[in-house]
Each structure stands twice: as C-alpha cells, then as structure tokens.
Amino acid sequence: MSAYWAGFDRGFRRTVADPGDMAVRVGFFAIILVVMTALWRAAVDSHGGSVGGYDMPALLWYVFAAQTAVLGVRPRSVEEIGDEIGSGAIAIQMLRPVSVVGMRISIELGEAAARIIGALVAGGLLTWGFAGPPPSAAALALAVPAMMLGCAANIASQHAFGAVAFWLLDAKSSWFFYQKLVFLPGGMLIPLELLPHPLELASRLLPFATMAYVPGRLASGDADPMLLVWQVGWLAALMAAAVAAFAAGERRLQVMGG
Amino acid sequence: MNAIAATLRSAAADAIANLGSFWFQVSLMIANDVTWVLFWVLFFNRVGHVKGWAVQDVIVLFSILLVSAGLSLGVFANCRRIGHLAADGELDETLVLPVSPLPYLLSRRIDAANVGDLLFGPVLFVVAGHPTPQRAALFVVGALAGSLVLIGFLVACGALTMFVGGRGEQADLGFNAILIFASYPLDLFGGATKVLLFTAVPAAFVTGIPARLVREFDAPSALLLVVVSLAFGLLGWGLFQLGLRRYSSGSIWAR
C-alpha cells in the first residue's frame, strides 16, 4: 500500500470512527436543506414556477449536490494549515519521507470521501422527499464523481491558499474570506445563471465554480460531461499550485526550538 | 460584579494585544458579512419580494443578527464552548475561584473575529436599515433581547454535555441550527419548522421577531420577546448550575 493510499485510508477510517462528528455534519446538512428548500420554494412560487431556467426540483437537487461537495471538506482547513506552519508543528511532518502536502491532501480526501457518502445517503433521501426524483438520473450519476472532484479541488485550493502562512506565519480567519469565494463565485448559495451577467462571467473564470456549481449544475439535470473536464483541468492546476507553494514554503521555513 | 468587569477588561486587553492581528480578523469578518449582504441583494434583485420580505427588511434582520452574534460569540465568546470546556475538564480552574462560574467563564474570552460583526451590524443598519429614532430604539432593544436568547440557548446546549456526556456535539448542532435559521426571514418557514423556531431552536426570537418589531411595532410581540429572552437567560443559567452538580473533574493530569 502506498503512503498516500494509506493516508487516504486513515482519513476515511478516522471519520467513520467518529459518529458524533458525522452526526453533527449530517444534521447541519439537513438543516441547510430545510432552509434552502423554504427559501427557493418561496422564490419560485413568487416567480411563476421557475427562476433563471431552474424549476423547484432542479434547484433543490442543485442545492443538494453543491452543499454535499462543500460540506465534505474540513471547513477550517486553511486556518489549521496556517496554525501548523505558524507554530512550527509542520516541521515534524517534514521528517516523513513523503510530500507534506501530498500526505495532507490524501488524508483529507479520505475524510471527505466518508463525509460525502454520509451526506449522499441522508441528503439524497431528504431532497427526494422535498423535491421528488432527480430531473435526470444520468445527470445525477455524473454529479456523484463531480462532488468528489469538487471536494478535491477545494482541498487542493485550501492548501495553496493556506501556504501563505509560510510567509505571513498566520492564516487565521482568512478561511472566512476563502469560504465566501466558494459561497458566491463558487455557486454554493446561488446558481451562477442567477447572478448578474458580468459576475457570472467572472465566476466562470475562477476555480471556485468547480467546487460547488459543477456538481450542482449536473444534479439539476444538465448531463454535460464537459463540466467534469472543466473540473479535472482546475483540479490539476490547483494541485500543482499547492505542491509548488508548499515546496517554496518548506525551503524557507525556519523553526526555532523544539 | 467588579471581578467580572475586570475579567472582561483583561479579555479585551488580550484580544487587542496584537493590534494588527485584531484588525485583520475584524476586517475579514466584515468582508464575510459584506458577502452575505451581497448575496441577499443579488437574490432579491433576481426574485423581487419573497413572502412579504424585501431586501431592506432582510438587511435589518441581518443587522440584528450581526449585533446578536457579535455580543454573544464575540464579547462572550465562551458561551458556545461550554460543552467543550466541560468535556475537557477545563471548568476545574474556574470552580476554585471566588466568583460565580458562569459569568466568569462567559467574560473570560473575546473573539476578535466576531467583534467585526458587532462593529458592522450597527453600521449596516444605519446605512441601509432606514433608521428613525423609533426604529433605532427597537433595533437596539431587539438585538439585546436576541443576544440574551442566543447566549441562553448556547449555554443550555453546552450544559447538556454535563448530563449526557460526549464532547458537546449537541451544542455544535444547536449552534449551527440557530444561526442558520436566524439568518433567513421567519415567514419562509411554516408548519413544524416554524413551531421549532419558536420553541426548541428559538431563532425566531433572535432575529425574526426583533426584525418584525422594527418594521411594525406591536406591544404584545415586544412583551413576548422580553419574556422569552429572560426565560432563555434563566434556562441557560439553571441548566449550567444543575450541570455543575454532576460535573466531575476532568483534570488532564488525573486521567
């Protein structure tokens, strides 16, 4: 078993072994679905049955997939990375004969896989109850790998973003800002088609849309495989950025004491 | 009272000890809040009115939430950590002090980031909430009552850890639930969800009722808000005091 696969396996098992955390996340997810269902139902009702080409089932399946992809990721990963770099704890990880960022991403992907499975089951049932069957089974089948790819892009991006702590020694609270980039330009709160046109165009040029919008769009019934290609392209770029940022940061890291 | 005021002063001094970091965190939280305002503007720009709520009504609701969250999660930051403190045995050091434990715990830590909410909430109300003397007075009273509800609810959820064990998971869930529900207009919800918001997860009293009072004052609702906020304050206090009777030391060196 390779070290990275072992890291993935460890992350998966650790998450499954903590039912309390899993229950909180699934509960949180259920609350979000209840709230978003109420919000979009009111919006659709006051708008003659559809908003921006999305009818009620399409919107709710969009919300389900976009939220699943985002909730799979550790929410404060940027801050945790910053803390480990700022405190020097990352020096211990650098003693291992594997890439620090590669191992971290492997572990977080394992955790994300476990959370996504939980959210898929619980959220899928709830969404089915609220909205009926998905608009397209084929599109939903594409949305499942898209959720995992979105998670992976998000995790890689958080590492690239958090690596700024190698220079600033602090990434505290910057996760708030990062999170909002996923919320709005990423399409987690509102589909990109509902944004004003210039903002929609700008959002499509940024990587954040691959983290929430793409899974959401697929689950809403648009079975376009090119959306997955878009995700894979950004995932490769974000992975490369994370690896490069950590490599540059590790070269300049100096840790005092021990 | 002097001891609690001194603790709060020392928590404030600690929060601003690194002034650069303090303002950085405050700024990021304000940027976070602006994103939410932007979301609501974009949403209402697209859909118009929703169940009688227009964008300016939601901005008033959001301003009240910011002040309530700023007071409870910023100034009295430990109110959401009671469960974790109990689970980790960190109440021990408080129990040996000659002060009332709950006020001391609540005033011991200020979260700089959430202070950003407290600063931005009133500014947002003044800029976009159409303030008049009456609306401003109701905004202040509503936000204070909402803060008391939020603090009481979070302390009660955390104190449950001393009865049911665990690491405060129910408090985390309660925290997420009340903040999410309080972020959205009350009239969106109906049936069982609405009953929930007036009882077990009292988000209606954190933002919904205060925002409705700012829009259109009515005395019975105002009275209800005051009574409920006092009731949740007492609930938090009572559950914490009862929980202390069951609390046993979790000292790390004793494990």
- Please provide the average confidence, as pLDDT, over all residues in chain B: 91
Element at A54 (helix H, strand E): strand A54-55
State percent of chain B over pLDDT 90: 68
Confidence band, pLDDT 50/70/90 cuts, at residue A242: very high
What is the structure's pLDDT at A255?
A: 61
- Using the beta-carbon criterion (under 8 Å), do B32 and A34 form an inter-chain contact? no
pLDDT of B254 higher than 50? no
- Listing DSSP states for B6-67 in one string gives HHHHHHHHHHTSSHHHHHHHHHHHHHHHHHHHHHHHHHHHHH--BTTB-HHHHHHHHHHHHH
pLDDT greater than 60 at residue B7: yes
Q: Which of B17-26, B78-87, B143-152, B171-180 has the highest mean pLDDT?
A: B143-152
pLDDT at B155 over 80: yes
Residue B187, min C-alpha distance to chain A (Å) = 9
* pLDDT tens-digit map of A105-141: 999 999 999 999 999 999 999 999 989 999 999 999 9
Q: State whether residue A13 sits within 8 Å of chain B by CB.
A: no
Q: What is the pLDDT of residue A167?
A: 77
Percent over 90 (pLDDT), chain A: 57
Q: Quick: pLDDT tens for B42-72.
A: 999 888 888 889 999 999 999 999 999 999 9
**Distance in angstroms (rounded) separating the CA atoms of residues A27 and A22:** 8
Partners of B32 on chain A (C-beta within 8 Å) are 176-177, 179-180
Residue type, B23: W
Q: Say how many CA atoms lie within 13 Å of B125 toward its Cβ.
A: 27
Least confident of A20-24, A33-37, B94-98: A20-24
Sorted by sequence, the CB contacts under 8 Å of residue B223 that are 6+ apart come out as none
CA A161 to CA A153: how far, in whole Å? 12
ipTM over 0.90: no
Instruction: Give the CA angle between residues A15, A19, A21 to the nearest 5°.
Output: 70
Per-residue confidence (pLDDT) for residue A115, from 0 to 100? 92
3-state secondary structure of B118: helix
Write down the pLDDT at residue A26.
Answer: 84
Residue A149 has pLDDT above 90, yes or no: yes
Q: Record the tokens describing residue B177, joined without a space.
A: 């639930």
Which residues in chain B have Cβ-Cβ distances shorter than 8 Å to A28? 173, 176-177
Of B31, B39, B167, the CB nearest to A190: B39
**Residues A114/A16, Cβ–Cβ less than 8 Å:** yes
Can you tell me the mean pLDDT for A62-90? 84
The whole-number average pLDDT for the span B223-251 is 91
Which residues, numbered 151 to 180 in chain A, qualify as contacts with chain B under a Cβ-Cβ cut-off of 8 Å? 170, 172-174, 176-177, 179-180
CA distance A27 to B175: 12
Q: Which of A1-15, A163-177, B12-26, B104-118 has the lowest mean pLDDT?
A: A163-177
Examine the pLDDT at B152 and tell me if it is beyond 90. Answer: yes
pLDDT tens profile B173-192: 889 899 999 999 999 998 88
Average pLDDT over residues B18-38: 88
Residues of B at the A interface, defined by Cβ within 8 angstroms: 21, 24-25, 28-29, 31-32, 35, 38-39, 42-43, 45-51, 113, 166-167, 169, 172-173, 176-177, 180-181, 184, 188-190, 193
